[in-house]
Chains A and B, each alone.
Chain A
Amino acid sequence: MRPRTALPVLGEYLAWWTALALLWLVLVSTVDVLELVVGAGTAALAALAARAARRAVTGR
């Protein structure tokens, strides 16, 4: 992957991760360190899936 394409990809991944981590933060009942760690990890996996789904829908 060239640097010119890597930056938008990374940007989109980070945008998905931020949105999904915020969603997790809103939905959990208590905010503590364990929840934050699990939420960050889950959001990292879900951001991969979200980007793959977005590419599948838009075809790009």
Chain B
Amino acid sequence: MNGWLLAAAVVLAGGVGATLWGVATGPLRRRVVAQNLSSALACPILLLLSQGYDRPSYVDLALVLALLGPVGTLVFARLLADELAGDPPRAWGATWAAAGVGAGVVLALCAATAPGRATVKLLLTGALLIGGNVVASRALAGGFRGVRRG
């Protein structure tokens, strides 16, 4: 057990545990936000595990999750648009908190690895993670109402 694995365990138990509870209980507007946040937190966990176990291939999983997690949320936002229109979820505090976790993990890993192509890959993963989740949160909050029927 090293510090990276400990951090991954803390984020897994605290963050993903809380989002699983949010997905399983409560009204729809809370469930979709929690579903979005679960992928936003699982991605930094995979990055931490890749460093903790010294397996760079785990970064690929994080990259794919950073790309596909927000896409999945956009599908939910589209399919549930009518249900969410009356009472749209606004969870910017939680969204930016998850983005902060992602940014902190990416910056810590960048500091720990030697500068090079791996650093660029990490920064790309972080940019996809944060950008994707901000876009997905905005879509859930009804920010793209104009293109709904597009």
Contacts and interface: CB of A to CB of B under 8 A. Distances in A.
Interface string A1-45: 000000000000000000000010111010100000000000000
Contacts of A25: 117
Contacts, number: 12
The range of chain B's interface size is under 10
Interface string B37-69: 000000000000000000011000001000000
Nearest to A29: B56
Nearest to B57: A29
B124 A26 contact: yes
A23 B125 CA distance: 12
Contacts of B121: 26-27
B120 A26 contact: yes
Contacts of A27: 63, 121, 124
Interface of B: 56-57, 63, 117, 120-121, 124
